Amino acid sequence: MDTTTSVTNELRSLLSLIVDSAAIAQRHIPDREKLSQGEPIDSELRSSIFVIEAACAQLCSLIARPSDALANKFFAFYEPACIQVVLTNKIPDILQEYPSGVHISELEKRTGVDAGKLGRVLRLLAAKHLFQEVSADTFANNYLSKYLLSSNPMSSFGLHITDECFKASTNLSDTLNDPALTASASPADASFVKHFKVNGTLFDYYAGSSPEQVKRATQFGVGMIGWGDAIEANAVINEFPWGSLPEGTTICDVGGGVGNISTQLANSYPALRLILQDLPHQLKIAEEEVWPEHAPKAIAENRIEFIPFDFLQEAPKLGCDIYYVKNILHDWADGDCIKILKNVKNAMGTSSRVLVHEFIVRPGYRMPKEEAKFTQAPEPLLPNYGEGRIRQYTLDINMMTMLNSKERTLQDFIDLGETAGLQFVKIWEAGEMGLVEFVTKA
Ligand SMILES: C[S@@+](CC[C@H](N)C(=O)[O-])C[C@H]1O[C@@H](n2cnc3c(N)ncnc32)[C@H](O)[C@@H]1O
């Protein structure tokens, strides 16, 4: 096939994917408000969004002039730079007071930022569909920017990413090219540490007491709620068959923090018995504040136990039916992950299962359907959905930048499990993340 025919065919196929997926998205337009409230999303709609984002990006890269496409990629960093300006000055909150728009002179009065410069920042963002420019030098919120009010955890997440993560990323190339640092897996050698000249790691920095450290640690903590919403971490509540587990099934939430997921499990599935395990300071907040507010019935009915522990040093509670390990392994280098998994294995009975809940980084090449253990995008899209599911790769690079840790492929998880004495069973897809199921090796 000559190049003209193959490009024409690809273009036609992409357009038809966009048209078909847009028809699905159109049926869900009445649910649009729900999408901005963090409610679980219909899986048909989710797939159509993945396809539209992937196909539009692929279409643009197919037809744009290479120099245009490349210049846009080089300059992409100005978008987060401008977002940091508007979030720092709570511009979405101010715009919310003026539904038909506010002049930049008023924004200068309220923030102290030069009106002309702030207007240019807002104009760039409006051109990227964040805010709208309603008349001369007059701006208003739109569907997206309304989601950035300072009361929304997404605003904290935006500040975390556009502040310390963005600044740390400017050091990534230097860190990777430094022979003394390039192969290090130590969090104390991460680009973040080098950029901010921190003594220790990101988490040592957040534990510090200067006003800037406290502000950034708070943004990070609250921002994680926004991130969980962005990647639909709670899709696991509806998309794993918890409801068909026998009455009294015990679920140990290993390193479960304050119980973000286990409170939801307790509320949705009263037949389950939950055990929350984490470091003592997290469990104190869980037991005294979070569970009494978010899952009081589980406490009253004695369906939750709080057991402090150190997952690097000791096993969790013995003989639970399921050990649920969410967003733990991506914080740690392979050696520590193996220690954590071995400790879990030491607690397991013969019928116990482990569910590792993480992004599962997908390869960019297409596999024969019978070999791929997860859904691949329809052709001619990249099999990993490219831009449609780009967050798995951006988070991976973010973990590298901030902690020298990583997101992992399915094979990485299988290998870690194998070394820890666990046998891979299957992968469950849940939203953008996946659950890797293991049992103990015979
Ligand atoms: C990224 S958070 C994930 C929390 C929770 N699984 C979730 O996804 O919401 C990592 C958790 O690991 C816990 N953690 C870190 N080091 C630990 C250790 N040595 N023993 C037990 N928990 C630890 C932290 O306190 C934190 O709650």
Number of other CB atoms surrounding residue 152 within 10 Å: 19
Give the SS3 label for residue 117: helix
Nearest protein CA to atom 4 of ligand 1, as residue: 257
User: What distance in Å separates the CA atoms of residue 12 and residue 16, rounded to the nearest whole number?
Assistant: 6
Number of other CB atoms surrounding residue 107 within 10 Å: 25
What is the signed CA dihedral for 344, 347, 350, 355, rounded to 10 degrees? Answer: -30
**Residues 435, 329 share a domain:** yes
User: What distance in Å separates the CA atoms of residue 146 and residue 92, rounded to the nearest whole number?
Assistant: 6
Average pLDDT of each block of 10 consecutive residues along the chain (442 residues)? Answer: 88 97 90 68 88 97 94 97 98 98 98 98 98 98 95 93 97 97 95 95 89 90 83 88 97 93 94 96 89 95 96 97 96 93 97 96 92 89 95 95 95 97 94 94 84
Q: Are 380 and 10 in contact (CB under 8 A)?
A: yes
* 307 backbone dihedrals φ, ψ, rounded to 5°: -130, 105
Handedness of CA 337, 341, 342, 344 (dihedral sign): positive
Q: Which of 46, 74, 102 is the last residue of a domain?
A: 74
Where are the alpha helices (H) located in 28-90, listed in sequence order?
32-35, 43-63, 66-74, 78-88
Q: Is 178 contained in some domain?
A: yes
Report the interhelical angle of 3-27 vs 43-63 (nearest 10°): 150
**Residues 174, 132 share a domain:** no
Q: Tell me the pLDDT tens digit for each residue of 250-299.
A: 999 999 998 989 999 999 999 999 999 999 888 988 999 889 999 999 99
Name residue 213's amino acid: Q
Task: Kindly provide the ipTM of the predicted complex, given to two decimals.
Answer: 0.99
pLDDT at 166: 98
**Residues 115, 60 share a domain:** no
Nearest protein CA to atom 6 of ligand 1, as residue: 256
**Residues 268, 257 share a domain:** yes
User: What distance in Å separates the CA atoms of residue 244 and residue 130, rounded to the nearest whole number?
Assistant: 43
Residue 257 Cα to ligand 1 midpoint, Å, equals: 5
Q: Is 52 contained in some domain?
A: yes
Segment holding 213, helix H or strand E: helix 211-230
pLDDT at 374: 82
Q: Which of 42, 74, 106 is the last residue of a domain?
A: 74
Residues 6+ apart with CB under 8 A from 181: 175, 189, 194
Q: Which of 229, 255, 278 is the last residue of a domain?
A: 229
Number of domains in the chain: 4
**Residues 279, 176 share a domain:** no
**Residues 194, 139 share a domain:** no
Place of tokens 């490009």: 7
Which protein residues are within 6 Å of ligand 1, measured from CB?
255-257, 260, 278-279, 282, 310-312, 326-328, 331
pLDDT at 249: 98
Number of other CB atoms surrounding residue 215 within 10 Å: 12
**Residues 238, 124 share a domain:** no
pLDDT at 439: 98
**Residues 125, 113 share a domain:** yes
pLDDT at 36: 61
pLDDT at 275: 98
Q: Is 385 contained in some domain?
A: no
Strands 132-135 and 138-140 come out as antiparallel
pLDDT at 29: 83
The parent domain of residue 138 ranges over 91-147
User: What distance in Å separates the CA atoms of residue 150 and residue 191, rounded to the nearest whole number?
Assistant: 28
Q: Which one, of 131, 124, 128, lies nearest residue 94 by Cα?
A: 131
Pick the atom of ligand 1 nearest to 261's CA.
Answer: 9
- Predicted TM-score (pTM) of the model is 0.88
Pick the atom of ligand 1 nearest to 254's CA.
Answer: 6
**Residues 429, 314 share a domain:** yes
Q: Which residues are catalytic?
A: 330
Pick the atom of ligand 1 nearest to 260's CA.
Answer: 9
CA atoms within 13 A on the CB side of 228: 19
pLDDT at 31: 75
Give the SS3 label for residue 138: strand
Residue 278 Cα to ligand 1 midpoint, Å, equals: 6
Strands 322-326 and 353-358 come out as parallel
